[in-house]
Structure 1
């Protein structure tokens, strides 16, 4: 199987959509010899910040010299981004090989009269197979959707991290914060410590689940706290205090107040893992955290104009993005490249993100669930100084940059599908310019 054939196979599985439940993935993993049992793991879920937190934990473990895997979703440009070992993506040939091997077992399931695994189930099983074969010591696993019935919830982790809980995926995980928290808390296993940044009603659900499983639950703002956060030379520095111990200073390259909270969760998770692994010294945790990167999350590309890519795609993420823009670029008008999926709360996102001095170019993300650019442009017209549409993402990006002018700021946001394409274009242009010398 070639990489292109692997992509075609995934496209054929797309007709099965997203189906929560563990029966199919468990049957598939059994046929593969249960690779998920051959490495240690950390499980990360949450409404926002779970990808960044996953990346930070993995960066620290890599810094410690631990053979570390990282499994995330979705990808920005292509599938191999989702499977990393020691900080490097799986190669396309290796990806195609492991998908082919997993497909053979999936086909055998169907031949035996079992239900076909979904795309995400096949990918998750293939990832676990690859990590096991590559002898990963520990894999940091990001939940795909929810937690309780997510395909990743077949692992027995050493630690569970729940970043935060707000309303999302109400069509699948419930209509209330409490119901969604129940799904997130589904990754808690008996006796496995929990680290969380959740609050209010969601925290109550998580703590109840932890007690029922005999698991210690440490809460950001209670057992450990963040203080003194500030931005210095395109980096963020903050203090973290655990209990009554003296505060320790950390520096991260990810901007935004929310990232200090994600970093605090990652640090505390690594401190708990350090109780059983002497390689995770305080210096290693500090140095690893400082090296963490997570593309597409307030990612700045210097230039004329300056370009920012941010994966915010729900009201809470948009609120955080707006706060970060105001912190880093106070008083500046922003040129937005904006595209969203049809099932998002467009009105709330628009009210939160745009200022009357801002302008926007609206495009349609590459997704069957995407909202039409013209429809969104009409919807947000009252929130911005001016709005235009682009027929393609590339055309929209060019229009936004031209409209912003050399001294302006362009911020692409609203959909991971959209910023993935923008990043592909920008990185491609940078590579072409480098090649030309």
Structure 2
């Protein structure tokens, strides 16, 4: 299988859509000899911040001298981003090999009368195989959707992390915070420690799950604390204290007050892991956080105009983006290139992100689920609202509208962020 053939094979699985449940992936991994059991794992879920936390914890483990795999979704530009070792995406040839290896067992399943695995299930199994073949010590695994019935929930991790819980995927995980929290808390396994920044009803659900499974729980503002200590346009400083003592000052490249919480969760998680892994030290945590990057999350591309790319795709993410824009670029006009999927909370995203003084160009994200720009534009109450039928044309129009010291912000969907980032990087 070549890389292109691997992509075509995955595309052929798209017709099976999203189908939550563990039966198919368990069957597949059983036939593959359970590669996910050959290394230690950390499992991460949450409404927002799970990708950032995954990237930061991976960087910390790598800085500790541990060979570390990272599994994330979706990708911004290329499928190879979804599985990485020590921060380096899987080479295309190795990606194709992993998909081809997994395909053989999928075909064996089908011949035996088993149900066809979905694209995400095949990707997950292929990533587990790739990490096993690479000989990683740890793999940091980001949940795809929810937790309880997500394909990644076959792992029994050393530690589980739940960044936060707000409304999302209400069509699949429930219409209330409590119902969604049940899905997130579904990654909690017996005796496995849990670190979270969840609050309110969601925390109640997580706390009860930890009681039921005899799992230690570490909660932000109860067992560990973080304080913002300053920000520039390239980094911010935070201080963290944990039940294990004062960890001191840390510098992170990911901007925004929401990243203070995410980084604090990572510090606490690393401190818990350090009890059984002496290579994880406070200095290693500091080095890892200082080097961690996560493209498409308040990613600043200098120039005229300065460009900010952020995949904010729900109201809480949009609110965090707006606050960070105000903190990093106070008083500067903002021109948005906005694209949202139709199954997202369009009204909530717009209300959290857009102000009357803003300028907005609405485009369709690169997805079959894209909301039509002509349907979104009338909902936006801003100084100027334009519509473009393509991301490239929208970028050109937004650039023309970004006068003086304006900031051009690309937001609303990771599918938009990835394609726009590819175009911008070529231009720059």
TM range, normalised to the smaller chain? over 0.9
Q: Distance in 2 between matches of 1:24 and 1:243?
A: 40
The corresponding residue for 2:127 is 127
The corresponding residue for 1:402 is 400
Q: Distance in 2 between matches of 1:50 and 1:244?
A: 24
The corresponding residue for 1:338 is 338
Contact 1:229 1:260 in 2 (8 A): no
Normalising by structure 1, we get a TM-score of 0.96
Q: Does 1:411 align with 2:406?
A: no
Q: Distance in 1 between matches of 2:373 and 2:392?
A: 14
Q: Distance in 2 between matches of 1:217 and 1:246?
A: 19
Normalising by structure 2, we get a TM-score of 0.98
SS at match of 1:152: helix
Structure 1 stretches lacking a partner, 5+ long: 431-437
CA RMSD, 1 decimal:
1.1
Contact 1:230 1:237 in 2 (8 A): yes
Residue by residue over 1:166-201, the C-alpha shift from the partner in whole angstroms, topping out at 9 and shown as x without a partner, is 010011111110111001001111110000000000
Q: Distance in 1 between matches of 2:115 and 2:232?
A: 53
Contact 1:229 1:257 in 2 (8 A): no
Tell me the number of residue pairs that the alignment of Structure 1 and Structure 2 aligns.
428
Q: Distance in 2 between matches of 1:391 and 1:270?
A: 45
The corresponding residue for 1:39 is 39
Q: Distance in 1 between matches of 2:58 and 2:178?
A: 29
The offset of 1:64, in angstroms, is: 1.0
Q: Distance in 2 between matches of 1:408 and 1:46?
A: 33
The corresponding residue for 1:207 is 207
The corresponding residue for 2:221 is 221
Residue by residue over 1:326-362, the C-alpha shift from the partner in whole angstroms, topping out at 9 and shown as x without a partner, is 1111122200000000111212211211111100010
The offset of 1:407, in angstroms, is: 3.0
Residue by residue over 1:230-289, the C-alpha shift from the partner in whole angstroms, topping out at 9 and shown as x without a partner, is 213521111111148346111101100000100000011111111111111111111111
Q: Distance in 2 between matches of 1:190 and 1:214?
A: 6
Q: After superposition, where does 1:25-424 map in structure 2 within 5 Å? A: 25-232=25-232, 234-243=234-243, 245-246=245-246, 248-380=248-380, 383-405=381-403, 407-424=405-422
Contact 1:165 1:180 in 2 (8 A): yes
Q: Distance in 1 between matches of 2:107 and 2:77?
A: 28
Contact 2:309 2:411 in 1 (8 A): yes
SS at match of 1:130: helix
Q: Distance in 2 between matches of 1:239 and 1:227?
A: 5
Q: Distance in 2 between matches of 1:316 and 1:170?
A: 15
Q: Distance in 1 between matches of 2:23 and 2:86?
A: 31
Judge which range, 246-255 or 97-106, deviates more. Answer: 246-255
Q: Distance in 1 between matches of 2:143 and 2:247?
A: 31
